[in-house]
Amino acid sequence: MIKDSNVIILKSLRDYKLRLLFSGRIKKMPRIKTIEWKENSVVIVDQTKLPLELHYETIDTIESMYDAIKVLKVRGAPAIGIAAAFGIYLGIRGFPESGSSQEFIENLNSKATYLAGSRPTAVNLFWALERINRTGVQSIENGASIKETKEKILDEAIEILEEDRRTGRAIGEAGLELLKGKKTILTHCNAGGLATAEYGTALAPVYVGAEQGIIFNVYADETRPLLQGARITAFELSQAGIPVTLICDNMAASVMAGGRIDAVIVGADRITSNGDTANKIGTYGVALLARAHGIPFYVAAPFSTFDLSLHTGKEIPIEERGPEEVTCGFGKQTAPSGVKVYNPAFDVTPSHLISAFITDKGVITPPYERNLAEVLGKKG
């Protein structure tokens, strides 16, 4: 049922997909396109409206892209990187083609610096900005015109989007092999298709498995205070016909103690050279619980999430968000006025609690300091 050109009423869409799935007419569920380049603009799913509306918003200025990243309309480390890449193009496409090359490079640098201020923790943001910036500078240095350089920057942004689709699929295949014999997983926050271009990271093995007739049962932490697990993970898995059970964050220990969980898989926003991993707040607690109950704890991430220039998690900048997300979440006040609030968006899970990394370059096991550098081909 279509409400207007941008909004889909979700219950009808879900029921239609489930009928198709269980009738055996399709094997591959269509995934929501989180972000795409369409008609000379960026089209994103506004994830602040989930789970009630699947609303597509058109972004055609760098300022709108900055806002979309800042207020979490687009979220998830890989998706943020893609958004930033397109954001730079939106920022420089109006630069006069008769301008000087030096002025163009200065403008390019300033746009990258501007977008870098949107969120500090997810390294994919900075990775994508640096890659786009390098593409533009090298193009100018090689004698290309400003018009040609703009086209190269757009092509590179599109390639980052397409790469993410491919890496998500590769993560899914690697993770599926690792999960042989396991039936039920727990995940925290959202590291599915809505955090990336298509397959996701932590949920990629679930989707690849479904395509092959292997169905996992997924427990999703609600993920306070913004409820990405409840609003987004439960939503996208339900849309895909994947069995999902939503639990409050403080139920994870009880669920594990009851023998309901075979493995935990989460995504990541930044991973250091020793394997310490920043992810949504609450991940560290889940890792401790998994260790206490003898359950493997896996981190799924593309190579762009690894920051081997940092040695340990203590060096990762942790974003702190406004107190209203805790005291007045979704418009309802749930705490006394004026109470002090500490609201970090991420925490760091020490590498010794991580059983393995599932990447687009394969599964990486300890010792991480050596194996990450070897597999990723970096010596940082």
Integer CA distances (angstroms), 194 to 189, 234, 296, in order: 11, 11, 25
Q: Decide if 233 contacts 333 (C-beta within 8 A).
A: no
CA separation for the pair 62, 66 (Å, rounded) = 6
CA separation for the pair 140, 28 (Å, rounded) = 43
Q: Rounded to 10 degrees, what is the CA torsion of 116, 158, 187, 69?
A: 30
225 cis-preceded (ω within 30 degrees of 0): yes
367 cis-preceded (ω within 30 degrees of 0): yes
CA separation for the pair 245, 229 (Å, rounded) = 10
Task: For residue 269, indicate whether it is catalytic.
Answer: yes
CA separation for the pair 188, 373 (Å, rounded) = 27
Catalytic residue among 164, 221, 269, 276: 269
Catalytic residues: 269
